Amino acid sequence: MTEDYPLQAHTVETQPNSKLENASFYEKLQNKTYLTFFTIGIGLLWPWNCILSASTYFINVIFSVNTIWARNFTSSMMTVSTIASLIFNTWLAQRQFNYSQRVISGLFWEIIIFILFTLISVVHSSLNMAVVFFFVMILVIGSALGTALSQNGILAIANLYGSEYSQAVVVGQAIAGVAPSVVLFMAAFFGDDNHDIGLFGIICYLLATAMVCTVCIILFKKNSIADKLLSNETSVSSERTNVPFDTLYYKLKWLVLAILFTFIITMAFPVFASTTMSMGINLSDTKYSALAFIIWNIGDVYGRIIADKPMFRSSSFTALKSFIYSLSRIILVPLFFIFTTLNSRHKHSSLIFADICYMLLQFIFGVTNGHIISIAFMKVPEYLETDEEKEAAGGFTTIFVFIGLALGSLLSYLVTFTVNSILSNNSQS
């Protein structure tokens, strides 16, 4: 099929990036433009990973573990976030202009949201739990909209500069997965007992997200790329024509489907990470869960970095192969259920080897997620011919990200039900 092979019209336009193609990751970070996209990538996904990594805190502390709000928090949080993002991204993708302002506005909105998250963490004990749950879900939606706005803008801009800068964004996103998890793991040691993160720890954790977004805004405004894009958007806005979705789908079909199925399968991960506890390692539930998020995200970073190797960037590694690769990850999910079963039967045993194997599985799941996503986004500009298509592809590909997240979050209810059934049945036997 002809769509499995990238078009070559981008060669002249991305020629300035040729110096980065064979550079090491450290050398790439010395490039001012690459560093800017990398930093914005961190700012894009840090808020989501902050909320995701803190899910154990919300469940254990704010919603008191055994309440209906605690049991449904993770799945509800993922569902409202991804559905809101999907709707907003679809709306944004049909308005193919003003990408630079979208980046700034989205990051500023995240700062406001996480200041409010900090406030609710301080006053939650004086409010009705249902009210707190509702307010937290509103903040989750607000954060999702801010991320969607920034991501739509920066991916459109990155596609103009070529695959190296698309990779900078997705690697930055992966770093944003590791860092909040590490901060949460450290914050857990500020707790008053073995289960809680202390108030000081969670305040620092949430405000760190606002600080990251502030740094991203400062760097983006100081970088000359933003000024050039604003100038370009102003000068050509009257001549622009929207690129139809069917044109983009024809050229990017296997890549966006790879993105879609990767995220559908990946959304099972937070459920397992927040419910599988230590069987041998002497860590509290909160700390063990945070460690699982760290291991998964380290794998995610590694997968995104190795995607830049020549064998994966070669035209022989087609979009169709990326799609098949994304489907193959489904074989990892049953392995998580095996550890859930072991966990429910041997929670207070000394199965350190089981903990090591579980963390290795989390690492592999993270590596494959990051690897496929990075490959897919790096190949997008190679399959497109014009700047208009590359800009529009930023919003178009993001739609499939959130379709995958939305479908995956809905399926996570089934995963949650199955996990709870396993835990309940084994606790009664």
Give 370-410 pLDDT, tens digit per residue. 999 999 998 988 888 887 888 888 888 888 988 898 888 78
Question: Which amino acid, one-letter code, is at 66?
Answer: N
State the DSSP string of 8-54: STTTTTTGGGHHHHTS-HHHHHTSHHHHHHHHHHHHHHHHHHHHHHT
Rounded (5°) CA angle 323-329-330: 110
More confident residue, 204 or 112: 112
Arithmetic mean of pLDDT, 55-84: 82
**Architecture field, domain 2-428:** Up-down Bundle (1.20)
Give 108-133 pLDDT, tens digit per residue. 999 999 999 999 888 887 888 889 89
pLDDT at 411 over 50: yes
Domain ranges of the chain: 2-428
Q: Assess contact for 104 and 216: CB atoms under 8 A.
A: no
Q: Assess contact for 10 and 162: CB atoms under 8 A.
A: yes
CA 107 – CA 213 distance, rounded (Å) = 6
Lowest-confidence range among 26-35, 126-135, 204-213, 418-427?
A: 418-427
Task: Name the pTM for this structure.
Answer: 0.75
DSSP H or E stretch at residue 92: helix 73-93
Distances (CA, A) of 90 to 152, 192, 402, 427: 10, 45, 10, 44
User: What HEC string does 361-424 produce?
Assistant: HHHHHHHHHHHHHHHHHHHHHHHCCCHHHHHHHHHHHHHHHHHHHHHHHHHHHHHHHHHHHHHH
Per-residue burial over 155-167, b if 16 or more Cβ lie within 10 Å, else e, is: bbbbbbbbbbbbb
